[in-house]
Copies of this chain bind each other. A is one copy, B any other.
Amino acid sequence: MTSENTELSHPGRNDLRLTDVLFALSDPERLAIVRQLAGGPLEMAQCHLSDPSIPKSTKSHLMKVLREAGIIRNEPFGRGRRLSLRYHDLEARFPGLIASVLSACGVESDAGQPGSPAGKP
């Protein structure tokens, strides 16, 4: 049977709400996830939480909050899922915001995203 893996719903770029984005980013654990994704997409299984003993239902919920705020994309990938930062959408809707948050939490503005922050012309 070819019964496509669960497609989760993502808000469209224009439906992103600033307060929801800020809220999702306001949790240390979620922010740490975003930091990891700043380097490029990651399989969920390779995206680690600060405490490895946290149950998967909790991890899934953290991802849900980020996804529903429009911060990350969560798509089927092989037997698991692939997570990615919706950098371009965030940048388009809230220019400079995600870049300043990343830089504030110690992400070297480098490669990883399309129209990344400044740094290398």
Question: What residues make up the interface of A, taking CB atoms closer than 8 Å to B?
Answer: 18-20, 22-23, 25-28, 31, 93-97, 99-101, 103-105
Q: Which applies to chain A's interface (DSSP): helix, strand, loop or mixed?
A: helix
- Please measure, in the bound complex, the distance between the C-alpha atom of A17 and the C-alpha atom of B23, giving whole angstroms: 14
Residues in B whose Cβ lies below 8 Å from that of A99: 96, 100
A19→B27 contact, CB < 8 A: yes
Residues in B whose Cβ lies below 8 Å from that of A18: 31, 101, 104-105
B94→A97 contact, CB < 8 A: no
Least Cβ–Cβ distance between A52 and chain B, in angstroms: 21
A100→B95 contact, CB < 8 A: yes
Residues in B whose Cβ lies below 8 Å from that of A104: 18, 93-95, 97
Residues in B whose Cβ lies below 8 Å from that of A25: 19, 22
Residues in B whose Cβ lies below 8 Å from that of A28: 19
Least Cβ–Cβ distance between A90 and chain B, in angstroms: 10
Enumerate the 9 nearest inter-chain pairs by beta-carbon distance, A residue then B residue, closest first.
Answer: A96-B100, A23-B26, A22-B26, A94-B104, A97-B100, A22-B22, A22-B25, A18-B104, A19-B26
A17: nearest residue on chain B (CB-CB)? B28
